[in-house]
Amino acid sequence: MSHLTLLWVFLGAGMATFLIRLSFIAVEGRVRLPSWFRTALQFVPAAMLSALIAPDLLMQDGALYVSPANARLVAGLVAIVIAARTRSVGWTIAGGMAALIAVERLF
């Protein structure tokens, strides 16, 4: 793929992303969205984050790997517990990373 083609792909993808996001901002005051839709929008960030992180925690080398020896899964579960208890991003990251390092050194 040439550099020019790659540039056009990046510009097109960036423009598509921008327009999708702008569509919600542009219609905010003009269109009344149904209450069920507005409620569902509140769950989009958590759903997207889960969709991005879950495969990394549950899979290794393209196969499902649910085991106490799976350091990423154990660290993810520790981070979930810390997040639920403290509601602190800093403590969640620090605790999850500490658990990851500890489990990787253990196994």
Long-range CB contacts for residues 75-79, cutoff 8 Å, separation at least 24: 75/99, 75/100, 75/103
Q: Give the integer Cα–Cα distance in Å for 71 and 32.
A: 46
Q: What is the pLDDT of residues 43-92, one digit of tens each?
A: 999 999 999 999 999 999 989 999 988 999 999 999 999 999 999 999 99
Q: Give the integer Cα–Cα distance in Å for 107 and 105.
A: 6
The domain spans of the chain are: 1-32, 42-106
What is the token pair recorded at 74? 């154990």
- pTM for this entry: 0.66
